[in-house]
Amino acid sequence: MKIIVTGGAGFIGSHLVDRLIKGGHKVIVIDNLSTGKKENLNPKAKFYKADIRSPKISQIFKKEKPKAVFHYAAQIDIRKSAEEPIESASINILGTLNVLENCKKFGTKKIIFASSGGAVYGNAQIIPTLEDYASFPVSPYGIEKLISEYYLDFYHKNYNLKYLILRYANIYGPRQNSKAEAGVVAIFTNKLLNNETPIINGDGEQTRDYVFVDDAVRAAILTFKFSKSDNSIFNIGTSRETNVNNLYKLIVGETGKNVSANYGLAKPGEQKRSCLDYSKIKKELNWKPKYNLEKGLKKTVKWFKEL
C-alpha cells in the first residue's frame, strides 16, 4: 500500500516509517525538518521536504495518491504552545486541515492521527484515565489536538474518510530530540552523559505515563491493520504513573552519573498528573506494552551513549 507519513523524519514518525517499510509498504515522508532529522530517514522512503501548511502538500498528494496517511507532524512543545499560541495553532490545526482537505480531494481512504492523551484530558480526576473521560485540556497544545480530533470526525461523517485517533502518553526512546523543550527522558539523559546539571521544573512530583517508542509504533501498526478499529479513539499508555523525581533517579542509575538536579519554576500549561488506561485497545486488539520503564530506559540510554 502507498502510505504518506507526515513528520516521518521525526522521533516517532521515523520509527513508524521503518516498521511500515519492513511490512512491505511504499512510504512517502513529508517533513519540513524543523525538528526532524535527515539521518532519521529510511533510505527506502521517498522524501519531500515540505511544511504541512504549504500548498505543496496538494502537489504531493496529487502525484502520490496515498491510500492511507499517518499524520504525525506537529508542534509538540506544550510550553511553546503557551508562549506562541498562534504559531502553534497554525501548525497543529491549519496544518491538519490542509492534510485532511487533500485526503478528501485525492481519495485517501484512512488517516491515523497522533493525538495526545497526555494533554487532551487536562487535569483528570480519574487516574488512569479512560477514552470516554471528559476532555478539558489545560494547554493550547492539548486544545489543538482535541480540535483536530473533532475535524477528523467531521471529515468521516461528511466525506467518508476513515480515521483512527491514537492518544499517546509520553513517548520516549532512541532518536528523541534532546535539544528540544519536550522529551524529558532525552533531555535528562543527554545532560547527564555530558556531565551537565539537569533542571527539574516545579517540585518534580508531577506524574506522567512513559511509553517506549517501539510499543507506540506497534500500537499504530496494529490499529491500522484491523478495520474493526476504524473511527475509534485509543489510549496508548502503560497505566503506570511515574513522577519526575523518580524518573530522574532511574536515569541517573542507568547512566551511572550521580548528579543532583536543580529545581526551576513550574511551567504554565503543564498538568500535575497524567496517566492513561489502555484497557480498550487491550480488549479490542490485544495490545499491551512490552517494555516497562526500566527496560525502555536501558535501551534508550544505550542509544544515547553510542551517539
Same structural domain for residues 153 and 181? no
Specify the pLDDT at position 307. 86
Q: Could you tell me which residues come within 8 angstroms of residue 142 by beta carbon, excluding any fewer than 6 positions away?
A: 78, 116, 119, 120, 121, 122, 135
Question: What's the average model confidence in pLDDT over 83-104?
Answer: 98
Same structural domain for residues 104 and 197? no
Specify the pLDDT at position 275. 97
Same structural domain for residues 86 and 130? yes
Question: What's the average model confidence in pLDDT over 81-90?
Answer: 96
**Contact (CB, 8 A) for 27 and 5:** yes
Same structural domain for residues 86 and 192? no
CA dihedral 27, 28, 32, 33 (to 10 degrees): 30
pLDDT at 90 over 80: yes
* Structure confidence by residue, pLDDT tens digits, 155-195: 999 999 999 999 999 999 999 999 876 799 999 999 999 99
Same structural domain for residues 43 and 135? yes
Specify the pLDDT at position 181. 66
118 — pLDDT class (breaks 50, 70, 90): confident
Same structural domain for residues 190 and 275? yes
Same structural domain for residues 247 and 165? no
- The CATH number of the domain where 150 resides is what? 3.40.50.720
From first CA to last CA, the distance across the chain in angstroms is 34
- DSSP labels, the chain: -EEEEETTTSHHHHHHHHHHHHTT-EEEEEE--SS--GGGS-TTSEEEE--TTSTHHHHHHHHH--SEEEE------HHHHHHSHHHHHIIIIIHHHHHHHHHHHTT--EEEEEEEHHHHTBS-SSSSBPTTSPPB-SSHHHHHHHHHHHHHHHHHHHH--EEEEEEE-EEE-TT--TTSSS-HHHHHHHHHHTT---EEETTS--EE-EEEHHHHHHHHHHHHH-GGGTTEEEEE--S--EEHHHHHHHHHHHHT---PPEEEPPPTT--S---B--HHHHHHH----S--HHHHHHHHHHHHHT-
Same structural domain for residues 230 and 91? yes
Question: What's the average model confidence in pLDDT over 115-123?
Answer: 93
Q: What residue has cell string 522524501?
A: 47
Q: How many domains does the chain divide into?
A: 2
**Contact (CB, 8 A) for 238 and 198:** no
* Structure confidence by residue, pLDDT tens digits, 130-153: 999 999 999 999 999 999 999 999
Mean residue pLDDT of the chain comes to: 96
Specify the pLDDT at position 184. 94
CA gap 50, 57 in Å, rounded: 7
Question: What's the average model confidence in pLDDT over 70-88?
Answer: 94
Same structural domain for residues 296 and 157? no
Specify the pLDDT at position 5. 98
Same structural domain for residues 72 and 60? yes
79 — pLDDT class (breaks 50, 70, 90): confident
**Structural domain for 164, as ranges:** 2-171+212-236
pLDDT at 199 over 90: yes
pLDDT at 237 over 70: yes
Q: 97 exposed, middle or buried (CB, 10 Å; 0-12, 13-18, 19+)?
A: middle
* Structure confidence by residue, pLDDT tens digits, 55-70: 999 999 999 999 999 9
**Cα angle for residues 102, 108, 110 (degrees, 5° grid):** 115
Domain boundary (193, 220, 236) is at 236
Same structural domain for residues 197 and 111? no
226 — pLDDT class (breaks 50, 70, 90): confident
Active-site annotation, residues? 141
* Structure confidence by residue, pLDDT tens digits, 16-56: 999 999 999 999 999 999 999 999 999 999 999 999 999 99
CA gap 192, 300 in Å, rounded: 13
